[in-house]
């Protein structure tokens, strides 16, 4: 019974996520639909500024905490309706709150799991805890990793809460800034052309955020390669030192 209670928060989040997906709620936030209605929506935002901003935070929080796919359309919507700076702040706050809820629910479930932990799992956890900050930031910064999946994985790896919050607030917000900028670019393009088409990739406000996301995705790989090269050079220097020392000894002996 105690184990079931530990899983209840996670089960509740899954149920909410399934309801959101089956109801088609995310379809209302598609860029084409937001673009077609953005004038009316901006009038509503001007009429109810606090409520509108609170709604953006809560909607993103629900999407992130339930781990449903397609949450990126909510980030796009924030950029289209609130602009880059304010959209990033609102979506970043909602993301941090939602990720924390999912993290705590997952950690509670894993803490009361049954059975022993396989040797491979223990090795993965040991490897993670050898460099927790680097691994956590890497997982948060790479945009191709599912945000909800990374949150659950960090809970399973027993990531400290302070480190999780730091990585989510920093790394997650960086990624959200690019996605929000992309949403703002889509809003301008739709307002100019009236629809979403492949021509949007010719506009600077769309292509620059995409390039930024690509650089962000490649950065951990490049840093990893540089780290490996540094280790190889250190190993080569270490192996060369005994030979140099032996030659010096022979010269002194002569």
Which residues does 152 contact at the CB level (< 8 Å), separation at least 6?
67, 102, 103, 106
Average pLDDT in the chain: 78
**The pTM is what?**
0.75
pLDDT of residue 89: 94
Give per-residue pLDDT as tens, 171-190.
778 888 888 888 887 777 67
Contact, 167 vs 150, CB < 8 A? Answer: no
What's the count of helices (H) and strands (E) in the chain, helices before strands? 11, 0
Structure-model confidence comparison of residues 146 and 99, the more confident one:
99
DSSP summary character for residue 29? G
Which residues does 38 contact at the CB level (< 8 Å), separation at least 6?
80, 81, 187, 190, 191
* Dist CA 224 CA 250 (whole Å): 40
Give per-residue pLDDT as tens, 151-164.
998 998 889 999 99
């Amino acid at each position: 019974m105690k184990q079931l209670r530990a899983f209840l928060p996670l089960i509740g989040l899954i149920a909410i996520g399934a309801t959101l997906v089956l109801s088609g709620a995310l379809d209302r936030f598609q860029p084409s639909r937001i673009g077609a209605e953005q004038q009316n929506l901006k009038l509503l935002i001007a009429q109810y500024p606090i409520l509108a901003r609170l709604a953006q935070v809560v909607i993103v929080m629900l999407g992130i905490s339930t781990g449903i796919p397609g949450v990126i359309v909510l980030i796009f919507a924030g950029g289209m309706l609130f602009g880059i700076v304010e959209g990033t702040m609102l979506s970043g706050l909602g993301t941090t709150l939602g990720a924390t809820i999912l993290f705590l629910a997952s950690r509670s479930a894993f803490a009361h799991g049954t059975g022993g932990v396989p040797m491979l799992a223990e090795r993965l956890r040991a490897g993670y805890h050898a460099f927790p900050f680097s691994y956590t930031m890497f997982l948060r910064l790479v945009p191709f990793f599912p945000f909800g999946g990374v949150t659950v994985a960090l809970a399973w790896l027993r990531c400290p809460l302070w480190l999780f919050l730091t990585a989510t607030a920093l790394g997650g917000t960086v990624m959200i800034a690019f996605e929000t900028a992309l949403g703002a670019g889509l809003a301008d393009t739709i307002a100019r052309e009236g629809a979403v088409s492949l021509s949007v990739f010719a506009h600077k406000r769309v292509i620059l955020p995409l390039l930024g996301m690509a650089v962000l995705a490649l950065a951990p790989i490049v840093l990893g390669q540089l780290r490996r090269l540094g280790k190889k050079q250190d190993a080569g220097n270490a192996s060369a030192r005994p030979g140099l020392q032996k030659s010096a000894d022979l010269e002194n002996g002569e």
